[in-house]
Structure formats: structure tokens, C-alpha cells
Amino acid sequence: MLKIPTSFRDSDVLDKFISKVSFIKLDAPSDALMADICGYSDRVCHGRENVPHDLFFVYNTFFHDLHITLPFDDFTVGVLRILNVALTQLHPNSWVCLQAFRIIYDIFRIIPTPQSFLFYYKSPPSTPVSWLSLPSHSGSVQFAAFNTSYIFFLKKSTSNICGT
């Protein structure tokens, strides 16, 4: 992934993507997030370096394919905090499980908690990781990961976006 630059090279391509994909919640302030074209050498795993304002890099597949919207709710923030990972460090299949868990809880009008979600999955690693997939506890699978759904994830998700 470090060798593959973003495919968003001009504002027209980025504007077209933004017009087709909803990545900010409807009730969020209009200035909550700004998408921008990344530099040619920027990669999703890079930090903000010496940039004076907050920013993060993210694959467009999170918004396009996984329908993740920002800002995150308390449940999602809590799960990421307990796991000690950023949004791009959590495997897409794990995001799907997280999204499905929230939807099921919403249907039954139950408030999801990070602890209730993580009850079904093995504990987070004790050491920091660059990529985290959430294996379920044996016999307690709530949402089975579809192993082939992101078999070409690294090839497919080569576009990244700068968010500020």
C-alpha cells in the first residue's frame, strides 16, 4: 500500500465522489469535516506530521462500501478506544460486524455499548497493532465475517482521502 498513491488527483474527481457518497451525518455541522486531495506521497498510514490543524487519511471504501458516517457516535468511539485503534486500523469485516450490531440493537431499541459488542469477540491485543480483525469467541458468533468480501481489499481501496 505504501507504493500506491491516491487516485484523487484533482478536485473534479473528489467532488464527484463526495456528491455520490454520504460520509457526514445529516445532523452534523456543515463544517464538521472537510475532504481534500492528499499529496502524491501521502498514504493512509501516515500521521499528520507537522501540519498545524487536525487531519486524518482514510480509504474511500469506508464511506463508499461500508457506509460509515462521521462524526462517530459514542458506541463507535468507545469500541475504537477499547481496541486502541484508529478507524483505518480496523479490518473492513470488523466494521461490517460493528455496523450490523448497531443496527440490530437499534431495531430492538437497545442502546449498544462497546462492552456488549466486545463480549462476542476476543480481547484486543495487549500490544499496538497496525491492522486489527476481530475474531469471535468460539461458539458465540453473532455476525460471521464473509472472508472473500475483501479478498481484493488492498487492490480495491487504493484511493484515500484527506479529512480535516
Q: What is the pLDDT of residues 117-149, one digit of tens each?
A: 998 887 667 777 777 888 777 666 556 555 545
pTM of structure = 0.69
Tell me, yes or no, whether 4 lies in a domain.
Answer: no
Tell me, yes or no, whether 5 lies in a domain.
Answer: no
Tell me, yes or no, whether 48 lies in a domain.
Answer: yes
- Site of grid cell 458506541: 75
Give pLDDT tens digits for 3-38. 666 777 778 887 887 777 777 777 777 676 777 777
Length of the chain: 164
Angle between helices 74-83 and 92-107 (to 10 degrees): 140
How far apart CA 103 and CA 66 sit, in angstroms, is: 13
User: For residue 44, what pLDDT is reported?
Assistant: 62
Tell me, yes or no, whether 128 lies in a domain.
Answer: yes
Tell me, yes or no, whether 134 lies in a domain.
Answer: yes
Tell me, yes or no, whether 31 lies in a domain.
Answer: yes
φ, ψ at 24 (rounded to 5°):
-120, 135
Tell me, yes or no, whether 3 lies in a domain.
Answer: no
Tell me, yes or no, whether 1 lies in a domain.
Answer: no
Given a contact cutoff of 8 angstroms between Cβ atoms, the answer to whether 18 and 11 are in contact is no
Query: Domain containing 35: what range?
Result: 11-163
Average pLDDT, the chain: 75
Instruction: Specify the number of domains making up the chain.
Output: 1
Which are the contacts of 40, defined by CB distance < 8 A and separation ≥ 6? 5, 6
